[in-house]
A and B are shown apart, each in its own frame.
Chain A
Amino acid sequence: MTVQGASRKKLSVSAWTRETSIDVTEGPKCWKHRFGPSLLGLHVAYWAKHENRFPSVNNSTEISQNGKWVGQSMPRVEDPTLLRGLGRFADDLPTPANACHAAFLRSPIAHGEISTIDTAAAAAMPGVVAVITGADLLQYSAPFITGVKVDAPQYALAIDRVRYVGEPVAMVLARDRYLAEDALDAIVVDYQALPPVVDPVAAVDAPALHPGTDGNVLHDRYFRYGDPEDAFATAAHVVEGTYSYPRNSCTPMECFCVIADYDPGADAFEVMANFQGPYTLHTIMARSLKVPGNRMRLKTPPFSGGSYGVKQAVFPYVVALGVAARIAGRPVKWLEDRLEHLAAATSATNRVTTLRAALDVDGRVLALDYDQLEDCGAFLRAPEPATIYRMHGNMTGAYAIENLAIHNRVVVTNKTPTGLMRGFGGPQIYFPLERLMDKAAARLGLDPLELRRRNLVPTAAMPYRTAPGALLDSGDYAGSIDRAVRDGGLAELIARRDSARAAGRMYGIGMAVVVEPSISNMGYITTLLSPEQRERSGPKNGALATATVAFDPSGAISVAVSSVPQGQGHRTVLAQVVADVFACDPGEVAVATEHDTAKDPWTIASGNYASRFAGAVAGATHTAALQLRDRLSLIAAADLNIPPEDVAYGNGRIFARGNPDNSLPLGRSAAKAHWSPLSIPDAAGAGLRETAFWNMPELAEPDEGDRINSSGAYGFIFDYCGVEVDPETYAVRIDRYVTMHDAGRLLNPMLADGQIRGGFAQGMGAALLEELCYAPDGSFQAGTLADYLAPTAMEIPELTILHDQSPSPFTPLGAKGLGEGNCMSTPVCIANAVADAVGEDLTTLPLTRSNLAEILLGEEAPESASASPSTPAPTPTLVDGHALHGSGGTLVPAAPVEVWELLLDDTKLAAVIPGCHALTMTGENAYRADVTLGVGPVKGRFVATVALQDLDAPRSLRLVGGAAGPLGTSRGEGWLTLTETEGGTQIDYTYTVQISGKVAAVGGRMMDGAARALINQFFKRLVSQVDGREVEPAQGLLARLLSWLGIGP
């Protein structure tokens, strides 16, 4: 045994590891005998080669002399791999050589019955292995379990009805993705369109989307805490507002990826997916695949390209791919593309909230009354309706408000199902709450900050139990605000506003006060049940976190967790945490974050969501490391010949407290547990591996009064900002933004700031740019990243970040989550500032230039009488809501009766339909046509239907029809009127058309022009035909050019 002299200097990583290796070569003979010298040589060579493998960490070794890695801005251990392009993301992992590749056929319409699906042509195409429809899936898959028991079964593929644009309808498996997409175009689906419901308010009274449910409100509950009725009855002031939070998404840059395989011998699935948890969904996937959990092995890759909650929503595809692998008899891989992701992955909930506040004369909020209407899209897909309950315990925000009423309704609409999203449920409540606080301040003539101050939870009251049950664990809200006002320069910002306004500019200041929950209580969703229902179903509670720390035979430390990081730097932070426990260099700690449900510890709460890492996962890791250290100390105590309580750790060594000369390398005693298990004290146990499960006793199930501590820790945020609105374009420029966070103890301040900056960028996007737009007909309009507007480096302003650190008394390291907070605070903070700048009550987001213009623009200057005619007034539409309109007219040198006869002649009609390949009669004056339609380079094959109706010979008729093809669907109608004039017949036409599917999703800004072009082609050809002129071939550019001439704008 080597005992280092007292004069020996601090050892570097390389020094001790090399030394350990040399020691081992001098170790027990049997060891040498079994493994031989070559392995030992390799071992030594390994350390020699890798002595600089953590250069950035070693550079910081001086910091560790203070004894603590936690709290330092240590550079990330993940970065050298990622910066070389060597991060192994899901699509970089090996794909089995016999795997086939899946592509999904998706609904182009928002709502409709599937009449028929013809897959024969697709199945016969080159390289196609299988075509799978809902009927095939039904044989192997059960419906997804949902949190609300309703008769609205949902599967990984649509069964007999589609309920949102992008809903998977069929799956092609082929040799490669290109061939799979070729076959998609050959599948013919006949839909019978049903009226879509897009607006949640309209959905309340609309016909049910799901035949088995009584209407579209699938959940409806009132909650009451304190005596809100009395508070409102006696209040000096009542303020009220209705606010609408839009659909948006954090859109990770890496899309979903799944590789699934099925072993019929074991009736077991093995799946790799860039899933992020929560692992409650594992149960749902296994149940849907009709196997027990241990037959649904789920692995995650080492790196994931962002998630922000979104990758929770890969789970339906895990089921789809599992079934596909079972049917195909071979592995199946699917990589989601961006259009699929934007249209159909998931979304934040959009919510309409009417919020009322009762205030006393001094501005104390006596009560809040929320009426929340939550839109979860077409299905309540697990974990929904969690968005509306995640914040339940902290619905009073950062304020001490004793009385609270909540009415929660959850509706389904013809939009993509919602799911986890950074800030989950936060922006939906803080947008109304913090807008209303501004409104209340204005009503009372108080400064908005002063009103907020008067209502804060007092510091002395911590930990504070809110009316709906949250236990706000720590914080000095008033003090944090004071420091933020001082250090962020609010006074200077106000001066900037004053001078800008004096110069006539639109400048405003906004603020937001937010409580940011982290570590979700696994029982919060059961708040939606009545106490009686909860009694029957049994309690759900807690938030188990697990971590494993081990020493391997070389004495090196390994950590494994089920945190499934998506870019947050978990490996770095856990290395810091464990390095502190063993007083070693973080570079000596290897952390694995890829996860395998068959081998790694996990629980339903595992995963990367609800900001649970810093509080729960890092805490569990710390706990496991301490347990391991206690055992190691027993071994070391024997080696050092001292009592265990005298064992101390420092600089990668274990030594005797009070006698540092008596020491040995950290890994030495640890290795002994592997090599000489008979030589260590019995009390140390066998195998130096500790798996800790950490739980929070504070996270009880909801009580009989529906009080729920919905999260384990609660951070505090105070944001304020100054914005200027361009008076001509209404562009919002963020002049300065200050965000103050108290998230307890910061484990790595640099990474904490990175989380804040990322959350801020997404919150700013939600405030000003981002929306998953739907037209009123349910067509989806944000299918590209040129339409879904994530901010770029040009849009993000400077950000001032301030921190307070009030440790949580309930988490092992005193840390709380902080990555979601700015997704909650920033949208409303900016909205408040813009409202202050423009002097209007702003009730929805995003505050795009055009949306602000709609509010701020006065009456428009009319066109002067002498000007040339422009766009005609809109005509009545086929269905309510959004449609494209147009009109035109031409003189034809023929009598109306001759024109009429030509119109009713099907061969003539075939000639006027642009690009018509074949026309068949399907009924009296009704046709089905195979056509190629296009504008410019855009071209697609469609099946069109046309019917002539409301015939009033020879004066007017109506053309009704639609087209469907791989590019999308359209429905429309046109009116023709024939008027006898001198020299012939004046044909006037108007049309209205709706377009849905891919073309609408990716080309929304061109749809009006494209519809106009196509319909003008049609009518122009009609006119030409009636006119007796020969119609040019549809594809002739000259014909197209001619068809354009003389047609109005």
Chain B
Amino acid sequence: MKPAAFDYAQPDTLGEALALMAKKGEAARICAGGQSLAAMMNMRLATPEVLIDIAGLAELQTIDIANGAIEVGAGVTQAELLAWPKLAEFQPLLAQLLPWVGHYQTRARGTVCGSLAHSDPSSELPLALALLGGDVFVRSQRGHRIINAEDFQVGMMATALEADEMIVAARFPLARPATASAFEEVAQRHGDFAIVAVGAVGNKDGVRLGVGGVADTPGVVDLTWPVADAALNDFAWSLGGADDQHATARYRRELVRRIGRRVIDEVHNALP
């Protein structure tokens, strides 16, 4: 289990990285923490010709509050965001959800934006971005653009990024006043890929429910109080999950109904 050969590039600036991406296109792959990519490369599922390591770019290491959102630079690890003192205050959902991302040892290296770019259907962070209606700030040599969560992840491990584009920051909207959030995950073991991950954010008008691990991309639905069982049921069916060796589609749908109900109730009870 050894990776195929690749060129290794460690740009000194973001500009250098973008120039190299423009030049290499599909042959290049960005590596920030590499906690998913390196494993896939070891198995030769992924065989990029050039690996562009952005972990050392100082300009991507920041966590800021700007434009009503927490802006997380592409070099920020999951552990660093989790340890950010203001996290629970400004976006409690992230504080609830980040401990479920991988393990202590992979969070130390894995980045928030890398998880978004990888877009594993069972990952928690793409679910958070979708649920919160966040976006990603994307750069290329051609310029920049902002891609909303709903447009960003287009399929299993597939995003709207062009070959020369790179996420430079993810933006998670700040928790609004008089809202509440909840998150729960069912996995075979602690730290495993989610069979079903369920998050919810709500206010006095209604609740937004998000589900990962079932469909190819996070599923999100807006529901109004009181949330009817029928609405949860229809949402569960709409995700179109499939059987795999860890769980049946039937079980996943049931978890969407049951855990969905649990997190919705938790949000409801936590509302002021």
- Given the contacts A935-B158, A1013-B158, A1037-B161, A849 and B242 also touching, CB distance less than 8 Å: no
Among A258-266, A607-615, A715-723, A853-861, the stretch in contact with B: A853-861
- For window 1026-1049 of chain A, which residues contact chain B by CB distance below 8 Å? 1035-1038, 1040-1041, 1044, 1049
B119 interface residue (CB < 8 Å to A): yes
- B83 at interface, CB cutoff 8 A: no
Residues of A within 8 A of B195 (CB): 849-850
- Contact check, B254 vs A853: say whether CB atoms are below 8 A apart: yes
Check A1004 against B244 for contact (C-beta < 8 Å): yes
**A858-899 interface with B by 8 A CB criterion:** 860-861, 863-864, 866-868, 870-871, 884
Interface residues of B in 233-257 (CB under 8 A from A): 233-234, 237-240, 242-251, 253-255, 257
Please tell me if A1008 contacts chain B, counting CB pairs below 8 Å.
yes
The answer to the question of A240 belonging to the interface, with a C-beta cut-off of 8 Å to chain B, is no
Nearest CB of A to B239, in Å: 7
Could you tell me the distance in whole angstroms from the C-beta of B64 to the nearest C-beta in chain A? 28
A1012 at the interface (CB under 8 A from B): yes
- Minimal beta-carbon separation of A774 from chain B (angstroms): 9
- Identity of the chain A residue whose Cβ is nearest the Cβ of B154 in the assembled complex: A1044
B2 at the interface (CB under 8 A from A): yes
Please indicate the chain B residues that have their CB under 8 angstroms from the CB of A1002 in the complex.
43, 45
Q: Is B157 an interface residue (CB 8 A)?
A: yes
User: Is the C-beta of B133 less than 8 angstroms from some C-beta in chain A?
Assistant: no
Residues facing B in A995-1013 (CB within 8 A) are 998-999, 1002-1010, 1012-1013
- Closest A-chain residue to B234, C-beta based? A867
Contact mask A938-963 → B, CB, 8 Å, 1/0?
Answer: 11100000000000000000000000
* A52 CB, min distance to chain B CBs, angstroms: 35
Q: Name the residue in B29, B156, B163, B215 with the highest tally of chain A Cβ atoms < 10 Å from its Cβ.
A: B156
A850-B248 contact, Cβ under 8 Å, with A860-B253, A864-B233, A937-B40: yes
CB distance from A969 to the nearest CB of B (A): 15
Determine the chain B residues whose CB is within 8 A of the CB of A966 once the complex forms.
Answer: 44
Partner of B2, one of A181, A775, A849, A938: A181
**B155 proximity list for chain A (CB < 8 A):** 935, 1009, 1013, 1044
Residues in B neighbouring A867, C-beta threshold 8 A: 234, 237-238
Chain B residues lying within 8 Å of A1044, measured Cβ to Cβ, are 154-155, 158
Do A729 and B250 have beta carbons less than 8 Å apart?
A: no
B122 & A850 in contact (Cβ 8 Å cutoff): no
Q: Is the CB of B245 within 8 A of A999?
A: no
Q: Please, which residues of chain B bring their CB within 8 A of the CB of A870?
A: 237-240
How far does the alpha carbon of A340 sit from the alpha carbon of B43 in the complex, in Å? Answer: 11
Q: Indicate whether A769 reaches chain B with its CB closer than 8 angstroms.
A: yes
A611 to B191, CA, bound (A): 34
**Could you tell me if B250 and A178 are in contact, using CB atoms closer than 8 angstroms?**
no
Set A773, A787, A857: member contacting B251, Cβ < 8 A: A857
| Cβ B163 vs Cβ A1037 within 8 A | yes
> Please, which residues of chain A bring their CB within 8 A of the CB of B259?
728-729
Contacts A848-B188, A1013-B158, A1037-B161: A1008 and B242 contacting too (C-beta < 8 A)? yes
Q: Mark A168-200, 1 if CB is under 8 A from B, else 0.
A: 000000000110011001000000000000000
When distances are taken between beta carbons in the complex, the residues of chain B under 8 Å from A940 are 44-45, 47
Per the bound structure, the CA–CA distance linking A1009 and B248 in Å amounts to 14
A792-B162 contact in complex given A728-B258, A1005-B244, C-beta closer than 8 Å: no
Q: Tell me if B212 is interfacial: C-beta within 8 Å of chain A.
A: no
Check A1007/B244 contact, CB under 8 A, given A849-B186, A935-B156: yes
* Interface check B12, CB cutoff 8 A: no
CB-CB under 8 A from B242, the residues of chain A are 871, 884, 1008-1009
Contact B156 A853, beta carbon cutoff 8 Å:
no
Mostly, the B contact residues are: loop
- A777: min CB distance to chain B, Å: 13
Inter-subunit contact B251/A938 (CB<8 Å): no
Q: Which residues of A contact B163 (CB under 8 A)?
A: 1035-1037
User: Is B94 close to A, CB under 8 A?
Assistant: no
A267–B160 CA distance with the chains assembled, in angstroms: 62
B257 to chain A: which residues have CB within 8 Å?
A: 861
Query: Are A936 and B240 in contact (CB-based, < 8 A)?
Result: no
From the candidates B245, B249, B254, name the one contacting A773 in the complex (CB within 8 A).
B245
User: How far, in whole Å, are A747 and B214 apart by their CA atoms in the complex?
Assistant: 52
Interfacial chain B residues near A181, Cβ < 8 Å: 1-2, 4, 44
- Residues of B in contact (CB 8 Å), total 65
Q: Which residues of A sit under 8 angstroms from B250, Cβ to Cβ?
A: 853-854, 857, 860
Do residues B2 and A786 form an inter-chain contact, with CB atoms below 8 A?
no
Q: Of B4, B40, B193, B216, which is within 8 A of A938 by CB?
A: B40
Contacts known (A182-B4, A861-B233, A937-B40); A769 close to B188, Cβ less than 8 A? yes
A573 to B99, CA, bound (A): 42
Q: Mark A708-741, 1 if CB is under 8 A from B, else 0.
A: 0000000000000000000011010000000000
B58 — which chain A residues lie within 8 A by C-beta?
none
Q: A190 vs B250: C-alpha distance in the bound complex, in angstroms?
A: 38
Partner of B190, one of A178, A792, A1005: A792
A299 CB to nearest B CB, Å = 26
Tell me if B192 is interfacial: C-beta within 8 Å of chain A: yes
List residues of A (762-786) whose CB comes within 8 Å of B's CBs.
769, 771, 773, 775, 781-782, 786
Chain A residue contacts of B44, Cβ below 8 A: 181, 185, 940, 966-967
**Any B CB within 8 A of the CB of A495:** no
Give the residues from 160 to 195 in chain B that come closer than 8 angstroms, CB to CB, to chain A: 160-163, 186, 188-193, 195
How far apart are the CA atoms of A340 and B1 in the complex, in Å?
9
Cβ of A976 < 8 Å from any Cβ of B? no
Q: Contact: B189 with A864, CB < 8 Å? A: no
Smallest beta-carbon distance B50→chain A, Å = 13
User: Residues of B contacting A338 with CB < 8 Å?
Assistant: 1
| Measured CA separation A782–B190 after assembly (Å) | 18
Q: Indicate if the CB atoms of B48 and A729 lie closer than 8 Å.
A: no
Decide if B245 touches A781 in the complex (CB within 8 Å): yes
Which residues of A lie under 8 Å from residue B110 when comparing CB positions?
none
What's the minimum C-beta distance from A556 to chain B, rounded to whole angstroms? 43
| A789 within 8 Å of B (CB atoms) | yes
Q: Knowing A935-B156, A1013-B155 touch, does A849 contact B247 (C-beta < 8 A)?
A: yes
Residue B227, interface by CB 8 Å: no
Which residue of the partner chain, among A769, A866, A871, A939, contacts B189 with CB atoms under 8 Å?
A769
B46: which A residues are within 8 A, CB to CB?
A: 937-939
Complex Cα distance, B3 from A185, in Å, reads: 12
Establish whether residues A936 and B157, one from each chain, have CB atoms under 8 Å apart when the complex forms. yes
A39 interface contact, C-beta 8 A: no
Residue in A789, A794, A864, A1008 whose CB lies within 8 Å of B234? A864
B153 to chain A, nearest CB (A): 10
Q: Does chain B have a CB within 8 A of A791?
A: yes
Task: Decide if A1009 touches B216 in the complex (CB within 8 Å).
Answer: yes
A938–B47 alpha-carbon span in the complex (Å): 8
Q: How far is the CB of A254 from chain B (nearest CB, A)?
A: 15
Do B189 and A792 have beta carbons less than 8 Å apart? Answer: yes
In the A-B complex, the 3 residue pairs with the smallest Cβ-Cβ separation, listed nearest first, are A936-B157, A1009-B156, A794-B190
The 27 listed contacts between A and B (C-beta, < 8 Å) are: A338-B1, A729-B186, A729-B255, A773-B245, A775-B245, A789-B189, A849-B247, A850-B246, A854-B248, A854-B251, A857-B250, A870-B237, A870-B240, A884-B242, A937-B37, A937-B45, A937-B48, A937-B157, A938-B40, A1004-B244, A1005-B122, A1005-B193, A1006-B121, A1006-B157, A1009-B156, A1035-B26, A1044-B154
Known: A867-B238, A1044-B158. 4 other contacts (CB 8 A): A771-B245, A864-B233, A1004-B246, A1049-B215
Taking Cβ atoms with an 8 Å cutoff, the residues of A that contact B are 177-178, 181-182, 185, 337-340, 728-729, 731, 769, 771, 773, 775, 781-782, 786-787, 789, 791-792, 794-795, 848-850, 853-854, 857, 860-861, 863-864, 866-868, 870-871, 884, 935-940, 966-967, 998-999, 1002-1010, 1012-1013, 1035-1038, 1040-1041, 1044, 1049
Chain B interface residues toward A at CB < 8 A: 1-5, 26, 29, 37, 40, 43-48, 118-122, 154-163, 186, 188-193, 195, 215-216, 229-230, 233-234, 237-240, 242-251, 253-255, 257-259, 262
